[in-house]
Amino acid sequence: MGEWHPESPARLQAIEDQLILARLDGLFERREAPLAELPAILRNHTPGALALVRDHTPKVDGETYPLDADTLLCSHSYQAALRAAGAALAATDAVIAGTVSNAFCSIRPPGHHARPSEPMGFCLFNNVAIAAHHALDGHGYERVAIIDFDVHHGNGTAEAFRDDPRVLMASFYQHPFYPYIEPEPCSPTSINIPVPARSKGDVVRPLITEHWLPALHAFKPEMIFISAGFDAHRDDDIGGMGLVEDDYAWITREIMAVARQHCQGRIVSCLEGGYNLSALGRSVVAHLKVLAEID
Ligand SMILES: [Zn+2]
């Protein structure tokens, strides 16, 4: 999105670097992200939203096109967005087929701010929402849960499934903060909890225990998607919260326990935010060690 932009290719390299440092890079089965099929994108997005990204992607390398003040397209953006969504779709297929027990999509651009009708906030297509639609409408699942622990509210995901009883969304997010949406009351399918800036694990963990977990157990998801943003980390200056690697490991363990109890461990986790490169890499390692049952 430009040399100055925090949503940069260095983020994925930082994850690779920390996997190597942790001597875990050889332990994971890696798959290339295919391009998403357009009908799968159009289950979540309007044709206008798709056309906005496709038609404004510059044809010349080095040019950018601003969709909003901090969401820019370069000549590779449309392909990258199709591959990010394609990774989430392929991971969903693989987990449902049972060829892998769970999957992490190391992808960018992120997705959870992308509204059904327009991209925003570094996000072009809503990868997790597209994958959730695929599990529901493509595979015939009746109940999926989406857990979002990014520091920002996943407004695009919440909007996509606001009136859909098949999807339980559980999140916490710093408030007041971008995208500056007023909190909505919790319901049986919407457990989105605002928390004040500077909140640490001692605030967040009890909220998860008290609010997310009973709702998840009552809902009995057939599959769990994670919007895995790591910008609530203490070292991340984009957010203002105080989580550390141990908190991400703890949250992942709690999600794993729900998945084991209700859906044979089926989890697809997709990278969202996380902009301090070292903290991002270390937090993803903590998340992956739990998903892979190494820790
Ligand atoms: Zn974020």
Measured in angstroms, how far is the CA atom of residue 98 from the centroid of ligand 1?
Answer: 30
Measured in angstroms, how far is the CA atom of residue 281 from the centroid of ligand 1?
Answer: 15
Measured in angstroms, how far is the CA atom of residue 110 from the centroid of ligand 1?
Answer: 9
Active-site position among 45, 112, 113, 262:
113
Output the pLDDT for position 155.
98
Output the pLDDT for position 102.
98
* DSSP H helical ranges for 117-190: 127-133, 155-160
Output the pLDDT for position 2.
86
Determine the Cα–Cα distance for residues 62 and 211; give it in Å rounded to an integer: 46
Measured in angstroms, how far is the CA atom of residue 231 from the centroid of ligand 1?
Answer: 6
10-residue averages of pLDDT along the chain (295 residues):
94 98 94 98 98 98 95 98 98 98 98 98 98 98 98 98 97 98 93 98 98 98 98 98 98 98 98 98 98 92
Q: Of 44, 51, 53, nearest to 120 (Cα)?
A: 53
Measured in angstroms, how far is the CA atom of residue 274 from the centroid of ligand 1?
Answer: 7
Question: Cis (ω within 30 of 0) for the bond into 179?
Answer: yes
Whether this model's pTM surpasses 0.95 = yes
113 catalytic per annotation: yes
Measured in angstroms, how far is the CA atom of residue 242 from the centroid of ligand 1?
Answer: 14
Output the pLDDT for position 236.
98
Output the pLDDT for position 295.
74
Which positions ≥6 away from 117 have C-beta within 8 Å?
45, 46, 48, 49
Determine the Cα–Cα distance for residues 72 and 56; give it in Å rounded to an integer: 10
